[in-house]
Structure 1
Amino acid sequence: MSGFHQRLLQLEPHHQQAFMAALCERLLPNYGLYAETTGQGDLHGLRVILDLVWERLAVKEARIDFDRQAEKLAELEPPLDDDSFGARRALEAVVALSALLDTLRGDALDAVLEVSRTSKGGVRAFIELTEGEEDAQRLAVLVKTHPLMEEENDFQDAVLEAVEQSPLDRDNLKALRRLGRNEGVSNLGLSLD
């Protein structure tokens, strides 16, 4: 296991949740683009659930029924029979947010790793789609050195450093959320604008 993954696992659960929430923020535009282009899904519904997560991170006593939120989230998944690239990226946003909700509901020990890998997996899939490299070894090198993957790794490093170094008070959570929103640009370099 990489040093990065070990650092994620060593975080307090609250800090893991903040890390995951920031990554979910960065995945939302992918879902939004899918919803906008297909008429499937509901970006606002996803946004509301993620906003409730941030509220809970800021106010530990906040009474939020995350079981109900998980039910609502399941309804926002792209249709199972849609195997398009956009649907798979939209599904990643739902899967990441679902893993985060699982931790708020009391289970999912490796959820933080799942969310990290989900975000990186979407970037890998995008590079594979856009570069069209057949040779597996060359593709592996290409993925590793691709600017989008470098950005993804830098982004996750920055989020991890932010949650490791700071008490998660309201101001630091706001800064983390801004970092996650990444000015509306997703992990694939896409934005709703």
Structure 2
Amino acid sequence: MNKKLNIFQQVRELEGWYAVAFSATLLERMLPNYTLFCEVTEFADPAQYRKTLNSIWEWLAVPKAKINFAAQLEKVEELVPDASDFDNYGVYPAIDVAMSMSATILLIQEQDLQGAVVVSKLSQGGVEAFIEASSEQELEPQDIKQHPLMQWEIETQQELLILLNKSPKNAETCKKLKTLATTEGMSNIGIEI
């Protein structure tokens, strides 16, 4: 449990650009969950979420970029699935993506300075929920911590924190972060990209 607290504490200390970059990288790993949900249920066109995440990356890479994040937030919030409307598990990871996207935009707008912590917790929590939902038996907290997906999630967040700690705020760092997020070819819950 100590590692988990340690990560959240480190994320809490991220500020401004670094907090947004951390959030965008985790979102890049989570987005396929939303996309797959939309494709399977025909809930909505997932392209809007891709566009919004691309806008976040642009904001990070091009500091002078003019992006209307109030409008982006509105579009994101219009496309949040309601869990009570669906009977498949995929709605929950999709909601995590939507909440993470909103938290990241609010962070950019400086309306919620803990947005990166929200995204970190949603990403880890989503992995934990997925592990529990896909298990045949009741799992102990220790079993969840030792599950390969959870270990991968924690390692990825730690690697991300280390990378951000020694990287400048620029487009090159954004490329490295995107590579970190997509190199395994899987979302945070193991869905192939």
Same fold flag (TM > 0.5): yes
Does the residue aligned with 2:81 lie in a helix, a strand or coil?
coil
Structure 2 contact 149–189 (Cα < 8 Å) conserved: yes
- 1:60 offset after TM fit, Å? 1.5
Report the Cα distance in structure 1 between the residues aligned to 2:133 and 2:140, rounded to whole angstroms.
Answer: 11
Q: Which runs of 5+ in 2 are unaligned?
A: none
Superposed counterparts of 1:1-193, under 5 Å: 2-83=5-86, 84-134=88-138, 138-192=139-193
TM-score normalised by structure 2 residue count: 0.92
Report the Cα distance in structure 2 between the residues aligned to 1:60 and 1:124, rounded to whole angstroms.
Answer: 35
RMSD, matched Cα = 1.5
Q: What is the number of residues matched between the two proteins? A: 189
Identity percentage over the alignment?
Answer: 36
Structure 2 contact 69–109 (Cα < 8 Å) conserved: yes
Q: Deviations over 1:62-84 (max 9, x none)?
A: 11110000000011111353353
Shifted more, 4-13 versus 109-118: the winner is 4-13
Runs ≥4 in structure 1, deviation > 4 angstroms?
A: none
Q: Which runs of 5+ in 1 are unaligned?
A: none
Shifted more, 145-154 versus 1-10: the winner is 1-10
TM-score normalised by structure 1 residue count: 0.92
Q: Deviations over 1:140-184 (max 9, x none)?
A: 111011011000001111111111111021111111112122454
- 1:9 offset after TM fit, Å? 1.9
Report the Cα distance in structure 1 between the residues aligned to 2:106 and 2:127, rounded to whole angstroms.
Answer: 24
Report the Cα distance in structure 2 between the residues aligned to 1:92 and 1:48, rounded to whole angstroms.
Answer: 17
